[in-house]
Structure 1
Amino acid sequence: MRKTVATLAALAYGVGAYVLFLGVFLYAIAFVGNLPVPKTIDSGAPGPLVGSLAVNLALLGLFALQHSVMARGGFKRLWTRVVPPVIERSTYVLLASLALALLFWQWRPLPQPVWAVEDPLAAAMLVGLFWSGWAIVLASTFLINHFELFGLRQVHAHAVGAVLPKPELRTPLFYKRVRHPIYLGFLVAFWATPTMSLGHLVFAIATTAYILLGIRLEERDLVRQFGEAYRRYRREVRMLIPLRRRTDAHDRPRADGAL
């Protein structure tokens, strides 16, 4: 009986964390795109420049710290001494969602214009790129296993008594052209806007820097996990730019981490 209650509690916890993530993800689209929600990246009364920058960078830094530290294997080994392994991923998703929600709530607008595209066709193309970026993010999660990435598969398997298979290196569709299509989608979504404010620019620059750093940390973990298979994949497929690498013997050698 106790085991059944614990199993159902873990399942409910995982589902709750996923529902919160889904709400925060949808809100993120509206936040960055200045869509009709209570708070967006440019809405609200602006405050002092230096103070607003300090608050925004602190919020971004908090999310980056949580997101990076909790994703590392060493932290997971320590963390799962406290948190049951079955809900480790759900807890990560929950705390990342809360960190993002805090960022949206406390973000300080900096509406000073950086650029504004007035040509209707060019503006429409940028809006289309914005939506394409988010579509790439979502589609890429399903290509590798959306529900495992956000903790649902783990709690479901625990509930039904199934054993999850060992992770394997898979490179479907987008992953054949770039190693990190999820991050590529975020970059497109964050930068593609017909009206760029100072606050939006700060957000885009900071998240781009974090993404590039996060890729380095993530790939170090992937090399440890998959060994030579991932090293070969890294040599053959670019990190973010969806162009094929030439494998001609006369080509100049490229660094493994090349974009």
Structure 2
Amino acid sequence: MTQIIQNADTDRGNVVGRIIAFLYGVVAYVVFFVTFLYAIGFVENLLVPKTIDSGSTGPTTVALIVNLVLMSIFAVQHSVMARPQFKRWWTRFVPPSVERTTYVLLASLALALLFWQWRPMPQVVWQISDARIATAMTCLSFVGWLIVLTSTFLINHFELFGLRQVAVNLVGREMPAPRFRTPLFYHFVRHPIYLGFIIAFWAAPTMSVGHLLFSAVTTTYIFVGIWLEERDLIGVFGDEYRRYRERVSMLLPWRKST
């Protein structure tokens, strides 16, 4: 009888733990999605309280150092926590079901810190004076954001941002093994999410020094991230990914992969 009671208590504890993990995942996803929407306004200089070019200005050298530190914090967190070696170590302390959720939450908080502490560098590098061309550039930037969001849904948006993991855990199931798929955009470029970001960051009718710094550093980080990510994908999918890399371009759909 004692053993039965202990087992029942354990089962109840497991159910409570799964519910808490699910609620944690939902909160983390909401934080991510709000941060993503804010990022659009931040880069586009629209609607949000603090944008890439708004706020009080200070010495250029100080702004440069602060902004580089903020972007480095995000880059280090985003890259280190995504590596399989870190995940193996990290899941000794964090349940595997919330590993991705925690990663997404910390990345969102790192971005929020960047938005909050960003130092504007508003000196103009270029400005398109023709209103029609300027509008077209703004529309192109939003196309980039749309490519980013659409691409996440093509490969399983909710798994990418940790919500599927906690939902599967909630019903007491195991996550299925990863499958290699190349839907729609992935037939033409290997990294449409990164391509969308590059378009969104660079298609600016007015390019300030701060915006140029943000675009240049994030684009550099994207290429580093691609190298790290593809190394991990080869580790998971082996020759299947190698063949994919041989036949599909990295970022430019009209250029053959080498």
For 1:152, the equivalent position in structure 2 comes to 163
| Alpha-carbon distance in 1 for matches of 2:189, 2:254 | 8
How many residue pairs were aligned?
Answer: 247
Q: 2:80 aligns with which of 52, 60, 69?
A: 69
Structure 2 counterpart SS, 1:53: helix
- Deviations 1:212-231 (CA, angstroms, capped at 9, x unpaired): 00000000000010000000
Q: 1:167 aligns with which of 178, 185, 190?
A: 178
Q: Is residue 52–residue 109 contact of structure 1 (8 Å, CA) maintained in 2? A: yes
5 Å-filtered alignment, 1:2-151, equals 2-151=13-162
Q: CA deviation at 1:120?
A: 1.6
| Alpha-carbon distance in 2 for matches of 1:160, 1:190 | 40
Q: Is residue 177–residue 244 contact of structure 1 (8 Å, CA) maintained in 2? A: no
| Alpha-carbon distance in 1 for matches of 2:116, 2:41 | 13
- Deviations 1:1-44 (CA, angstroms, capped at 9, x unpaired): 11111011000110010000000000000000000211000001
* Length-normalised TM-score, structure 2: 0.94
| Alpha-carbon distance in 2 for matches of 1:164, 1:75 | 19
Asked if 1:184 corresponds to 2:195, the answer is: yes
Structure 2 counterpart SS, 1:240: coil
Asked if 1:241 corresponds to 2:252, the answer is: yes
| Alpha-carbon distance in 2 for matches of 1:106, 1:133 | 25
For 2:8, the equivalent position in structure 1 comes to none
| Alpha-carbon distance in 2 for matches of 1:103, 1:206 | 13
Q: Is residue 132–residue 185 contact of structure 1 (8 Å, CA) maintained in 2? A: yes
- Deviations 1:54-100 (CA, angstroms, capped at 9, x unpaired): 00000000000000000000000000001110000000000000000
Moved more, 115-124 or 98-107: 115-124
Structure 1 counterpart SS, 2:125: strand
**Structure 2 counterpart of 1:8, which letter?**
I
Q: Is residue 63–residue 99 contact of structure 1 (8 Å, CA) maintained in 2? A: yes
| Alpha-carbon distance in 1 for matches of 2:242, 2:140 | 31
Q: CA deviation at 1:165?
A: 1.6
| Alpha-carbon distance in 2 for matches of 1:89, 1:67 | 11
* Length-normalised TM-score, structure 1: 0.94
Question: Is the radius of gyration larger for structure 1 or structure 2?
Answer: 2
Q: CA deviation at 1:146?
A: 0.2
| Alpha-carbon distance in 1 for matches of 2:105, 2:176 | 24
Q: CA deviation at 1:244?
A: 5.5
Superposed structure 1 runs of 4+ greater than 4 Å apart: none
Unaligned runs of 5+ in 1: 246-253
**Structure 2 counterpart of 1:213, which letter?**
V
For 2:3, the equivalent position in structure 1 comes to none
| Alpha-carbon distance in 2 for matches of 1:117, 1:55 | 28
Structure 2 counterpart SS, 1:114: strand
| Alpha-carbon distance in 2 for matches of 1:32, 1:244 | 28
